[in-house]
Every structure is written in C-alpha cells, then in structure tokens.
C-alpha cells in the first residue's frame, strides 16, 4: 500500500497566525504528494467549504487508487473534507477523534465561531447543512461509530451532545486514572463491534504543551496526554484496526520550541510508514 501525504495549509477555520505554515516546514522533511492550494472566498465558511470539497475529492481519489491518504494540516476544519472523502468509499465509516477538544460545536452553540470547532459535529450530521452535506448529501459518520479520545477542553454544549447521544469517549482524566493501555484497548474493542473501517483524526494539541508547544489552540489548562501516550495510541490503532484514512492536524511552527511538535508529527509519520508499508 502506498501512503499519500496531502498537505492542506488552511487557517481560515481558526484564524491563528501560523496555522497555515506547517505544510511548508513539513515539506522540507518529507515528500508531500499533493498540496491543496487554498482559495480565499468572501467568508470563512465559504473558504472552508470550497477547499474542503477539493480535499474530499483528493482523499476519495487516493482511496480509489488503492492508496492510504494522510491529510496534514492546517486547522482541524479540514476533517470535514477528509472524512467526507473517505466516507464515499466506506459507507459505515467509524472515527477516532484523538484531540483535547471534541470539536463538536455547531453554528448555534459556538462561542468563537471558529469552524475548526465544528468538524466532528458536522461529520455526525449536526449543524449547518452546507457542512453536513459537503461532498455527499448524507451523514458521513454515525455517532455510534465515534470514539473521542483524550478529550479535556470540553464546552458545555459539547458535553450536552456527548451525554444526549451517549457518544463513546475517553477523557484525559480517564486516561490518567484508568491508564492509556486500558483506554486504547476499550476503544479498539468498541469499534471492532461497530465497523471495520476507521478514519483516525489526530490533533497534536491532545498532547501536553510541555511536550508539544507548537499547536494552534492549546487547551485552556495547558494540559494533555504525554507524547509517548499519544504515539502509543496512534501505533496501536493503526496496528489493530483497519484505519482507512488519517489526519494529522493543528501543527503550528510559529509556536513550536526546539522542534518538539515538528518531531511529534515526523514520529507519527514514521509509525504510519512502518505499519502501512508493512501491510502490503
């Protein structure tokens, strides 16, 4: 299986300086197969929609060619497109959302109005129709096929959504008290009962800021899982589940220190290369 890296230098979902600069740095360290040219439109929403449509088409085409798409960001609004593209080939798609934020606000619940806080909600069919119907006019992911992993910075409306639909999740506190191994195993067991096709969306802000300072929006308490825990989770999910597409998002070189966050992205890519190339 060939791995194809798709660069997506988007910042319009979060408006943080440097959110769009990570692809330039990463392209000096790895061979990015395709970089989506971000076109600007009159509104943030239209900018995200039009460019996510392009991304969805590239992800879909990559899978049609039998390859494994890894979308590199860029802010997390890109997942609306990458999940939509993967869903077209995988009707019963599951999602692991490895992130300090649930990203499950909508235009009606958000405080910031930043679209990178919408993508998981939109993928589950909640919020603006322009987002929920992107690429295909249907829900991309059943909420029963979702696991939120390492969430910590949770808005009240997001918690209400999680509780209302009983969305499977493991908080930072769960990981700290039950252990990373337990939470990984439970995630794998849960999803194996639901589907055999998973999209893994890895936001590096799930990691504590001491280990990973170069992110767009750290959680409000500068807290998170350890670097080693995040990489262990990614490795085991890739080894033990059928991960059909993946994101690595929110890397910001302008806030990085000593290339700590860059090296986490590169370490993640090494894990992908070892496992996916070994699956040929």
Q: Which of 12, 205, 229, 236 does the annotation list as catalytic? A: 205
Our answer to whether residue 116 is catalytic in this structure is yes
**From the CB of residue 73, how many other CB atoms can be counted at a distance below 10 Å?**
34
Residue in 44, 203, 229, 256 annotated catalytic: 203
Catalytic hit among 12, 52, 250, 256: 250
The set of residues, in sequence order, having a beta carbon less than 8 Å from that of 133 and lying 6+ positions away, is none
> Of the residues 12, 52, 76, 169, which is catalytic?
76
Options 20, 103, 153, 155, the catalytic residue:
103
Annotated active-site residue in 116, 153, 158, 236: 116
Would you call 44 a catalytic residue per the annotation? no
Q: Is 99 marked active-site?
A: yes
Q: How far is CA 252 from the centre of its chain?
A: 15
- Beta carbons of 250 and 114 less than 8 angstroms apart: no
Neighbouring residues of 147: CB distance < 8 A, sequence distance ≥ 6 = 94, 95, 96, 97, 168, 169, 170, 187, 190, 191
One of 44, 99, 229, 236 is an active-site residue; which one?
99
Choose, from 87, 101, 169, 199, the residue flagged as catalytic: 101
Overall residue count recorded for the chain in this entry: 280
Active site residue 228: no
Residue 87 is a catalytic residue = no
Asked if 258 is an active-site residue, the reply is: no
Q: Decide if 205 is catalytic.
A: yes
Rg (CA), the chain: 17
Closest residue by Cα to residue 173 from 164, 165, 162, 183? 183
Residues catalogued as catalytic: 76, 99, 101, 103, 116, 203, 205, 250
């Amino acid at each position: 299986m060939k791995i194809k890296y798709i660069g997506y230098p988007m910042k319009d979902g979060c408006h943080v300086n440097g959110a769009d600069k990570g692809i330039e740095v990463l392209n000096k360290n790895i061979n990015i197969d395709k970089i989506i040219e971000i076109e600007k439109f009159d509104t943030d929403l239209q900018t995200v929609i039009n460019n996510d449509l392009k991304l969805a088409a590239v992800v879909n085409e990559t899978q049609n060619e039998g390859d494994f798409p890894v979308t590199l960001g860029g802010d997390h609004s890109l997942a609306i497109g990458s999940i939509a593209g993967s869903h077209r080939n995988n009707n019963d798609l599951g999602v692991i959302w490895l992130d300090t934020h649930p990203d499950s606000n909508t235009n009606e619940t958000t405080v910031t109005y930043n679209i990178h806080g919408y993508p998981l909600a939109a993928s589950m069919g909640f919020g603006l129709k322009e987002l929920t119907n992107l690429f295909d006019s249907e829900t991309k992911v059943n909420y029963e096929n979702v696991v939120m992993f390492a969430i910590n910075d949770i808005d009240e409306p997001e918690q209400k959504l999680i509780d209302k639909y009983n969305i499977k999740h493991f908080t930072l506190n769960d990981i700290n008290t039950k252990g990373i191994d337990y939470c990984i195993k439970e995630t794998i067991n849960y999803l194996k009962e639901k589907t055999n096709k998973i999209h893994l969306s890895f936001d590096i802000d799930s990691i504590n800021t001491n280990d990973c300072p170069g992110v767009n929006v750290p959680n409000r308490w500068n807290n998170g899982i350890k670097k080693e825990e995040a990489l262990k989770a990614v490795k085991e999910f890739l080894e033990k589940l059928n991960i059909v597409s993946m994101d690595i998002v929110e890397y910001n070189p302008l806030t990085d220190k000593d290339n700590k966050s860059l090296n986490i992205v590169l370490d993640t890519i090494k894990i992908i290369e070892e496992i996916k190339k070994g699956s040929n």
